[in-house]
Amino acid sequence: MQKITIAVDGYSSCGKSTTAKKVAARLGYSYIDTGAMYRAVTLYFHQHLVTLTNEKEVAKALDNIQIEFRRSLNDGRNETFLNGLNVEDEIRKLYIANQVSEVSAIAEVRHAMVAQQRKMGKKKGVVMDGRDIGTVVFPDAELKIFMTADPIIRANRRQIELNERGDLVDIEEIIENIKKRDLIDTTRKESPLRKADDAIDIDTSYMTLDEQVEMVCILADEALSKAIRK
Ligand code: DC
């Protein structure tokens, strides 16, 4: 059966990963959270005191990093493993969010991650979410989505998510983090966050999760039919 590649890019906390995960489950596709990969690299750099400006240290660290996704036996959710260790909860903490934009702006880090992402998605049948999937990782993806949402709504969503994980963080601190990440993500030299020319905009500010999933699934159906006709 023919399958397509679905790229979901956009700002943080717009509902990209929750939507992408559900769309993948509905279509029987695999789901890859590329933000988790950059977060895992950030955790490794943090733990090993890697100096971000030292190219040799960065290259050596990247050689020692192995990232995989495994399905949890408890609830079936995808979990991130760094060198064989489950780091899913740790990489979601605010101290990682505060450092990840600097780490993901490093060219060597991006090259290593993009190479892995291309390998993971080469058979198609994948929903990949991130910042540069439609522009750099899979510029030929049959369906590209670009998600946006009002920054205050994004901060509220992020706070609920962190609260659910037991991380009680002030809304002001979250807004600061979102602003800082948006700025670094959109202005970095290496593959900045931008909408691909052929991506479809979805503003999720006033949409429910079900509506987002439904919309992407309809677009995926159309993109698949188009790919079959080609
Ligand atoms: O999606 P997220 O918030 O978990 O991503 C964490 C950070 O990783 C985000 O601030 C930018 C970076 N990132 C990136 O540069 N490229 C990607 N494809 C995915 C994430």
More confident residue, 184 or 61: 61
Task: State whether the beta carbon of 22 lies less than 6 angstroms from ligand 1.
Answer: no
Contact 45, 103 (CB under 8 A): yes
Task: State whether the beta carbon of 138 lies less than 6 angstroms from ligand 1.
Answer: no
Q: What is the DSSP string of 172-183?
A: HHHHHHHHHHHH
Beta bridge partners of 127: 6, 31
Nearest ligand 1 atom, CA 132:
18
Nearest CA to ligand 1 atom 2: 35
Beta strands 5-10 and 126-130, pairing class: parallel
Nearest CA to ligand 1 atom 11: 101
pLDDT greater than 90 at residue 230: no
pLDDT greater than 90 at residue 218: yes
pLDDT digits (tens, 9 = 90+) for 146-178: 999 999 999 999 999 889 988 898 999 999 999
pLDDT greater than 80 at residue 76: no
pLDDT digits (tens, 9 = 90+) for 37-62: 999 999 999 999 999 999 999 999 99
Nearest ligand 1 atom, CA 117:
18
Of 81-85, 130-134, 146-150, 187-191, which gets the smallest average pLDDT?
187-191
Tokens encoding 65: 């990093």
Q: What is the DSSP string of 132-172?
A: SIIIII-TT-SEEEEEE--HHHHHHHHHHHHHHTT----HH
pLDDT value of residue 161: 87
Nearest ligand 1 atom, CA 38:
8
pLDDT tier at 6, thresholds 50, 70, 90: very high
Task: State whether the beta carbon of 101 lies less than 6 angstroms from ligand 1.
Answer: yes
- As a whole number of angstroms, the distance between CA 146 and CA 38 comes to 19
Q: What is the DSSP string of 104-121?
A: HT-HHHHHHHHHHHHHHT
Nearest CA to ligand 1 atom 15: 104
pLDDT digits (tens, 9 = 90+) for 15-44: 999 999 999 999 999 999 999 999 999 999
pLDDT value of residue 1: 85
What's the pTM? 0.93
Task: State whether the beta carbon of 144 lies less than 6 angstroms from ligand 1.
Answer: no
pLDDT tier at 77, thresholds 50, 70, 90: confident
